[in-house]
Chain A
Amino acid sequence: MLRQVEGSAAVAETVARCRPEVVCAYPISPQTHIVEGLSDLVRDGTLAPCEYVTVESEFAALSVCIGASAAGARAYTATASQGLLFMAEALYNASGLGLPIVMTVTNRAIGAPINIWNDHSDAMSQRDCGWVQLYAADNQEAVDLHMQAFRIAERLSLPVMVCMDGFVLTHAYERIDVPSAEQVDAFLPPFEPRQVLDPAAPVTIGALVGPEAFAEVRYLSHARQMQALEAIPDVADEFARVFDRPSGGLVHGYRADDAETVVVALGSVLGTIEEAVDAMREEGVRIGALAVKSFRPFPARTVRAALRRAKRVVVLERALAPGAGGVLSSDVRVALKEAPLDVHTVVAGLGGRPIGGESLRRLFADAGAGRLEPLTFLDLDRERVEAELGATALNGGSGTTVGSGA
């Protein structure tokens, strides 16, 4: 039903209608409204049977989900930022054991310095942990991707992260079609685990694997991710049939087919990018956008096909790999192979810095005019960083000097 509702509330209700049997989470901004909503639904009996387990940390939260999933329960958790880092060891266990846990990551920066606002540093830091990573462009897609995530996870026996921008989406009231229980039931069948830990028929999972077989186990993990490249669009098609709207998939092009400049990005900034594209199209600029919906697995072939007519690519990153540059753009460059394309990395919106349409239009115009460096930081306060760089040079280059009166 269409409602004007907070993103987090819509996600909590939708997850509840996916009938998880175990929800275990540790609260952290900006994820809290989702797990508070779920705990209310468990307490008042709306979500039943389901056990909401309260724990002392994110490490425990995911560990409980691992145990629950191994025992055959549909398991869900949510976190962000430092909370995701605290789960890091368990993330690898969940994927290594092939457990179809679904987790919402309400994307938030990582400290220090401490910052509660939105960027993609958290999920990007766990890029290689073996989980599928899907990114929502708006709250409707965030809702839709949660239903799809359980399907994808359980079809492949692989854990799935649904990434939605913290605060920007989680705390926004928008018009959202929140699915009914009947709709979700028509789309998502009950969980049938591949393997169940059962005291009556004991097995060992996660046992020691030596050099003779470890590479094969890892290869299979990669192979399952590559199978997800087929499962994700299949599930999106099936979703479109049941819900009569497109959502999810591997990538989504916007006015990109005949574009000379294509902007590649993830998450909620895509709406602002689309508006900038429309404004520039009206001025006759051939520009378009490509939303990457599935970051892991990375749909290299699909991205290459979508960019084959472009002359230049601007990858807008909400994360930074210090010492290297972009995270997403590395994957885009590999996908393009030897195609004669200029690929620009633009780091933007770190720690909640707003990404404004005007800045974007200026940036894209610079790209079109060949004025864009290979690595650019959008709206960077040059004076401030140069003063700091100058001061550290004078002081021998160790530690911060800002505010020290040096």
Chain B
Amino acid sequence: MEGTARELEVRVHGRGGQGVVTAAELLSIAAFEEGRHAQAFPSFGSERTGAPVVSFCRIADAPIRTHEPIAEPDALIVQDPTLLRGDDVFAGVGPDAYVLVNSGRGFEELGLGELARGFRDERLLAVPASEIARRHLGRPLPNAALLGAFAALTGALRLDSIEAAIRERFPGDGGERNAAAAQECFALAQRRLSEVAHA
């Protein structure tokens, strides 16, 4: 009897309107594109624009049976660095977790130097996803760019399946622009990570 193979559990933190729920959904579609099983769901609150929102995504090679929220994520995506001041973003996050933050500033600059030292260097990444998004979309919607960086950081999903998910969800020009943002942020993340590896 196979148990659920819980390969990767992801928690996304952001604010209402940033596409927090969409981020988890896109991850699940990208995983599906790769023939894997995935489950994405929001934190089920009465969300409104600007309020903190959480969403979840499980990715596995076997069917996913459980429907409980993710309490101990393997990866964290933080769409809005102002949320890092709260205590609940890192709840249940272990030292081996991947942490991806949308910020043009590094963890030291964000005042998170001590916190960052609790994680593995090669699993910790801050990328200016909102700036990249602004260039490609004209609006600071960091979702697609962050998912590109997520693919580079975790290696759990391929960039082309992230792009396919984006194009499926946003057909036409919007999808192309978002896919371009994902590509740029993927490349940036790869450069940053290879700098860490050779440091």
Determine whether the beta carbon of B1 is less than 8 Å from that of A173.
no
Determine whether the beta carbon of B41 is less than 8 Å from that of A271.
no
Determine whether the beta carbon of B71 is less than 8 Å from that of A356.
yes
By beta carbon, the residue of chain B nearest A349 is B68
- A173-B41 CB under 8 A given contacts A116-B46, A275-B4, A278-B3: yes
When A and B form their complex, what is the total count of cross-chain residue pairs whose Cβ atoms lie within 8 Å? 73
**Cβ distance B23 to chain A, nearest Cβ, rounded Å:** 11
Complex interface bits, A267-303 against B, C-beta within 8 A gives 1, otherwise 0: 0110110110011010000000000000000000000
Determine whether the beta carbon of A167 is less than 8 Å from that of B1.
no
Tell whether A333 is near chain B: CB-to-CB under 8 Å: no
Tell whether A174 is near chain B: CB-to-CB under 8 Å: yes
Determine whether the beta carbon of A173 is less than 8 Å from that of B25.
yes
Tell whether A355 is near chain B: CB-to-CB under 8 Å: yes
Tell whether A169 is near chain B: CB-to-CB under 8 Å: yes
Tell whether A26 is near chain B: CB-to-CB under 8 Å: no
CB-CB under 8 A from A304, the residues of chain B are none
Complex interface bits, B8-34 against A, C-beta within 8 A gives 1, otherwise 0: 000000000000000011001101100
Number of interface residues of A (CB under 8 A): 32
B44 contacts which of A171, A173, A274, A275 (Cβ < 8 Å)? A171
- A117-B41 CB under 8 A given contacts A281-B1, A357-B66: no
Determine whether the beta carbon of B68 is less than 8 Å from that of A355.
yes
By beta carbon, the residue of chain A nearest B71 is A356
Number of interface residues of B (CB under 8 A): 25
Tell whether B40 is near chain A: CB-to-CB under 8 Å: yes
**Cβ distance B66 to chain A, nearest Cβ, rounded Å:** 5
Q: Which of B44, B67, B68: most chain A Cβ within 10 A?
A: B67
B67 contacts which of A173, A255, A272 (Cβ < 8 Å)? A272
List 6 tightest A-B contacts by C-beta distance, closest first.
A271-B65, A4-B32, A173-B40, A167-B44, A172-B41, A272-B66
Can you spell out 29 A-B residue pairs with CB atoms less than 8 angstroms apart? A3-B32, A4-B32, A116-B46, A138-B65, A165-B67, A167-B41, A167-B44, A171-B42, A171-B44, A172-B39, A173-B24, A173-B29, A174-B28, A175-B37, A268-B67, A271-B65, A271-B66, A272-B65, A272-B66, A272-B67, A274-B65, A275-B3, A275-B65, A281-B1, A352-B44, A354-B68, A356-B68, A356-B71, A357-B68
Write the residues of chain B forming the contact surface with A, with a CB cutoff of 8 angstroms: 1, 3-4, 24-25, 28-29, 31-32, 37-42, 44, 46, 63-69, 71
